[in-house]
Structures are given as structure tokens and as C-alpha cells.
Structure 1
Amino acid sequence: MADDVLSVLTGEIDAFTGALAGMPPAGWEQPSRCDPWRVRDVVGHVIVVLSRVPDMVAAPAPERAGTTAAEYYRADGRFSDDTNDERVRTAQRRAADPDAATLVRDLADTGRTVVEVCRDEPVDRVVRTRHGDAMLLSDFLTTRLVEVALHGLDVADAVPREPWLTPAATEHLLRLLFGPQWPTALAVAPDPTTLLRRATGRAPVTPDEAQALKSLGLRPLTLG
């Protein structure tokens, strides 16, 4: 497949893994903004959402795509109370091993598996998500980049430490949120990471800033 989003995702997983490898033990137990998850549970969730990719690629391909990456994050049953509860439990189970090094290896191994199963897929490969969406694999990998990058910010804020978000991931996500005119949106924030935070509910915005983001074409994502 075209390797743009796959290479960006790989770089972000590598950055996340590297940051976790150097994290002090107490950092893993810090509460996160993704209540009730601790940092370790956020990492468990990231591993879970990546681990679904190989099974999707192995399954028969739908005839055509009907959902984009932005449309995937729509407010429907995928963010119902029951689904969110199961999402919480699944992440906690994945993160249950007390050995943080095991979680770091799990993330690295899962990321490598995603690359292995996706790199030879055709550019027009379509997959079916667990929510029933038929999507281009490249669009679904963009949703995995959303999960890795934004939850990376959640972990960095919880520890706390400077975020490790890669420039390539930042640009890819801002393009998802604002479209090809995304550079114009940089005028409403002091830096790209702050813009990403504001556009995804990870930093407060004033009413004027919210209106400015909307006027710049922000496509809000429902993120649970």
C-alpha cells in the first residue's frame, strides 16, 4: 500500500515506545484525563486498538469503502455507555501485567505486526471495522494514528513530561481535522501541538477561539 500513513504511524509508535521505555515506575500509575484509566491503562488501550488491524486485514475485503477517517469518529453506538465500559475493561485487562517492560514490548511488537501485515496491501485495499464500517485501509490506519498520537499526549500530560508527538504525525492529524488548508489554522494557536490539543478537547478554548476553529473548517471528532 502507499506507505505515507503507515510510515507516519510507525514513527509515532516508535516515539511512544521510546518514551515509555524511559518512564519512571511511578509514572505508570498516574491518573490520566481518560478517567478511570491510569497511564498503564491508556497504553493498554493503544495496544488493543492496534492489535485489531491484523485480523481486519486477514478478513475478506468489502467491495467498496463508505466511511472516511473523520466519519469514523461519529457520535453513535460506538461511544455508547456499554461500548465505553467494554473499552475501559479491555484496556485494563491488556495493561494488567505489573511489569511495565512487558507493556513496552507489547506495544513495540504490536506495532511491528501492523507494519508487516499492511505494507504489501494495495493502495485501494478496503477493510471492515469492528463497528461495521467499510474503510480504505489507509483511512483506518489514520484512525490508529489518532489513537496513538492523542493518547500519547494524554500519557505525557499525566506523567508529566514534554510530549514526543512527531512533526509528521502532527501534520497528518491537522490535515485530518482541517483539510488541506490546515496551515491557516496555525494562526489561532502558538504552536501546532497546542492547536491539536485545542481541536481535540485536550486544552480549553474560549468562545472566540471555538468560533475561529469552526470558521477554519474544523471537523470535530467524537473521542469518547
Structure 2
Amino acid sequence: MDAMEPVVTALRAESQRLYDKVSILPEAEWDRPSPCRPWTVRELMAHMTAGVGRVAAMLAEPEGAADRLVSAAGYYAPDARFSVRANALRTESAQEGAASHPDGWALAEHFDSVWRAVVAGCDGLPPGRLVRTRHGDPMALGDFLVTRVVEVCVHGFDLAEGLGDEPWPTDEAADVVARLLLDGRPYAVGASVPGMDWDRTTFLRKATGRLPMSAAERAAVQRHGVVRLTLG
């Protein structure tokens, strides 16, 4: 199996699941508040769409070269990428993106075309193909695609919460995100974080700050090497 295939498969599956959920939303639902304040569901969806679409822009640029690459986990380091200014620009960009579509259905259709173009554009490319993020970080394409799976999956939790729905992660995406959080290990109930009998979705939500953790749970997560990601 191609080393990038599971990640592309996860991005495809999670994006399709997301589209299936939002494409049938009544228009009024798009203006519900999301837990990613100050965004509405509509603005959060615009942010997710732009995040996936960055892959196409990267692949349109010359590959170039780099001596040292940023890993998928390293992409979420607590540095300038998540500064007050960067977050303000991120918020403003999503609001502008949402306003550029006449209604929620048009935004959902735009997302559908974006993710399909990205998946098609990655077909046949090696996972080591060099790309450069909008922050200037050189990354292997396979690693950057992992971050896109994280974005669609984790912000999918946020969308579900904003809509009053149950979380909807696909198995493919949940596995990719769990392996990132566990430094390459798959998630196994009671084994990945001993003493914590969480199902995989609960683990993902707790480890990414979407559900609160007790002091004992935080200590267990830290003790067993769960990777901490700086997320919006």
C-alpha cells in the first residue's frame, strides 16, 4: 500500500461525511453559534474549506528544497502560527469566506468541489513531495495531509456541537488523528491511555480539548505520551 493512501482515504471519507451532513442543513442552521467563537457554523465551515483548499495552492508552487522539514505534530507547535495576530487574521478570513457565498448550500457545494479537487490532485504524488505552508514551513505532502485530516475531523466535532448533533468522525479519519496523537500507535481502549476506558471518539475529543479532562485524566494523558497539539 502507498504510504500516503491511508491519509488520502481518510481525507476523502471525512470530507464526504462532512458534506453529507452540511449539504442538507436548513439555511437558519448555518447561523447557529459554533464553539469556536466568534464563528458561526457558516464561518467555521468557510475556515475548514479554506484549510483543505490550501493543498491545491501548495501543489501549484514549485517544489523547491529544504534541509529540515516540519512534521505533522510540529505544525501544531504553540508559536507564531497561533499568535493573537494570526488568530485574528484566521477569524477575519473565515468571516469573509462565509460572506462570499449566497447561502449555506452554496458553501457546502464549494467545499465539495474543493476537497474533490485536492484528492484528485494528490493522486500519484509521493508522500515526500515537498510543500510549503502559508506560514513558510517546509513539509512533506503526506504530513501536511495529516494536518488536513485533523482539521476536518476535529472541527467536525465543533460543527456537530454547534448544530446540537452527535460527533460523526469516520473510522479512517479517527485512526489517522489517533495515530498522530499517539506518536504512530493505533488507539486501543484502555491500552493507549491505561485506566481511561474511553472509546476512540471520546479520546480524540478529550485529547484535542473538545471535552474537559479531570486532573487525573490530564496526568494519565501526559504520562502515556499523548502528543499535545495547539489547536484553534
TM range (shorter): over 0.9
Identity %: 39
SS at structure 2 position matched to 1:127: strand
Aligned to 1:185: 192
1:82 to 82, 85, 110: 85
SS at structure 2 position matched to 1:205: coil
The amino acid across from 2:173 in the alignment is A
1:123 lines up with 2:130 in the alignment? no
Corresponding pairs, count? 224
Aligned to 2:19: 17
Aligned to 1:205: 213
- Alpha-carbon distance in 2 for matches of 1:101, 1:36: 21
Aligned to 2:175: 171
- Alpha-carbon distance in 1 for matches of 2:165, 2:26: 11
Report the Cα offset of residue 166 of structure 1: 0.2
Segments ≥4 residues shifted beyond 4 Å: none
The alignment yields a C-alpha RMSD, in angstroms, of 1.4
Aligned to 1:132: 136
- Alpha-carbon distance in 2 for matches of 1:123, 1:195: 27
- Alpha-carbon distance in 2 for matches of 1:11, 1:103: 19
SS at structure 2 position matched to 1:111: helix
* 8 Å Cα contact 1:185/1:213 also seen in 2: no
Aligned to 2:146: 142
* 8 Å Cα contact 2:193/2:221 also seen in 1: no
SS at structure 1 position matched to 2:131: strand
Kindly provide the CA deviation profile for residues 172-207 of structure 1, in whole angstroms up to 9, marking residues without a partner as x. 101000123332226514311111010000001001
The amino acid across from 2:157 in the alignment is L
- Alpha-carbon distance in 1 for matches of 2:85, 2:20: 33
Aligned to 1:155: 159
Q: Normalising to structure 2: TM-score of the pair?
A: 0.92
2:104 to 100, 107, 129: 100
- Alpha-carbon distance in 2 for matches of 1:123, 1:167: 21
SS at structure 1 position matched to 2:182: helix
Kindly provide the CA deviation profile for residues 118-176 of structure 1, in whole angstroms up to 9, marking residues without a partner as x. 11212321111111111110100000111101111100011111222101111110100
- Alpha-carbon distance in 1 for matches of 2:213, 2:28: 31
- Alpha-carbon distance in 1 for matches of 2:217, 2:96: 39
Report the Cα offset of residue 24 of structure 1: 2.8
* 8 Å Cα contact 1:186/1:192 also seen in 2: no
Seen in structure 2, the aligned counterparts of structure 1 residues 165 and 186 have a Cα distance that, compared at 3 Å, is farther
SS at structure 1 position matched to 2:183: helix
Q: Normalising to structure 1: TM-score of the pair?
A: 0.95
* 8 Å Cα contact 2:9/2:172 also seen in 1: no
